[in-house]
Structure 1
Amino acid sequence: MPEGHLIHYLANRINAELRPGPVTVTSPQGRFLASATQLDQHEISHAEAFGKHLFIDFAAPGPEHIVYIHLGLIGKLTFETADADWGQIRLHIARGEVAANLRGPQWCRLISETEFAQALAKIGEDPIREDADPNKVWAKVSKSKRSIGSLLMDQKRFAGVGNIYRAEVLFRQGISPTRPGHNLTRMEFDAIWEDLVQLMRAGVITARIDTVRPSHTPAAMGREPRKDDHGGEVYVYRRAGAACHVCNTPVAVTQAEGRNLFWCPNCQAN
């Protein structure tokens, strides 16, 4: 599932490439046809992301004018030429020769401002957003018996953080993923939050996840670059059994929140 940095990247591209001016909105697959017809030839006011949720606000008549997208596990929103027609396109938004095509989302809905507010109420604080309030997250984490490895995947707390950022930020901070939230100090929590802000905002620019410090890049260590569908240079994610870049201990893996959780037993002993 795409993590929050990619959703912000997509929102930025929509704002940059599909505005200003009216856009062509269709649903070649047909499942969003009625809503697409309502939006066709209207302008996009703005697109924005909250965690893993994308909202595209149209300057269209009627109470329902916001397209609400969640990509889920297999969904993709790709920028292509306006005449691209491969696959099952749920939503097609084109301006000139450029189009954003949505395929296989978990959902794509047309909602009102009231429904938008209701959706936001269910989403936690997004480290990428300037209006995020980490104090609200700390208030919940500091009282929780759940492990920090579990809490970081809770979208009602850390919006946009996924399996990669979870594993990598805990490694970078030397914190065991099994530590209960209420056992973290405020200083440790603040370090996790600030690291997420730095890493995830960088990911918005590059549309990939890179978490290794300069001293651990392939060039600095004389090692081969990472080869993985997710791209980016990481410390522990999908490196089970491989030597830790810092201490050479084999990277461990277990299940947490239904996903593989990777960590270094030595670097993250606390």
Structure 2
Amino acid sequence: DELDLTTKRIGVITRHMKVKGWYSGDAGDIANMLAADDTEFVPIGNADIWAANGGLSGAVAFWPVEKFILVLRELYSAREQTKQAIYEITGISDIVRGASQASETATAQNIKTQWGSLRIQKMQRMMERCARDIFVMMAEIIPAKFSHETLQQMTGVQIIPTQQDLTPVQPPPAPPPGAQVPPEQQQQLQQATQAAQQAEQQRQAKLAKLQSIQQLLTQPLAMMYRIDVESDSTVKADLTRQKAETAEFMQAAGA
């Protein structure tokens, strides 16, 4: 809150820092001068009187911008102090942002990086939970507001069975009773019958899967328990150390 308040005050003061002022209403020549462009000179009347009264500085008063400059400088200093306090409290140090010294060893850098990241892990978990909750709400809203046809067109995943999925696979016709069938033709007929049976089993399994998907999308209670969204862990600065420890464990276990 303190940082936000200081930043808002800086914005307010910056908006009021404008080149403006006032002059006597009788001095019409000054208005012409203020409207003049760069490198443009405007003639004035009674130049001797103007010179005797101190010239333009005695006839025009400017908005006291220098007062705002002093306040603005103090506000910038206060904001930097607030930011430094936030860095010290939360542990967001220069080493976490990637700044380091070339003279330090890699082990020292890793230790400081781990120490800085440990203090912001709570905020990382909060952001992960926020992203997870958003995906959970999306998963609850999508099947309630979109039809199966729309979801199938949007995702490219089949949800509705086609006419081919609904049509049973018919086996090849058997030869009439008492007919003499050559061995080769009988073997081909047997293979075709087995292929038709396998195709029918695959069709029934696919149809059952599509029906279970439709039932899952139309039952809110079942969807909440069976569709779960979990956030993956945020990439930590000590990921390299974890990989090294895993590799050492695997080598020790395989020895």
TM-score tier, shorter chain, comes to under 0.3
Bigger fraction of residues in helix: 2
TM-score normalised according to structure 1 size: 0.21
Larger proportion of strand: 1
Query: TM-score scaled by structure 2?
Result: 0.21
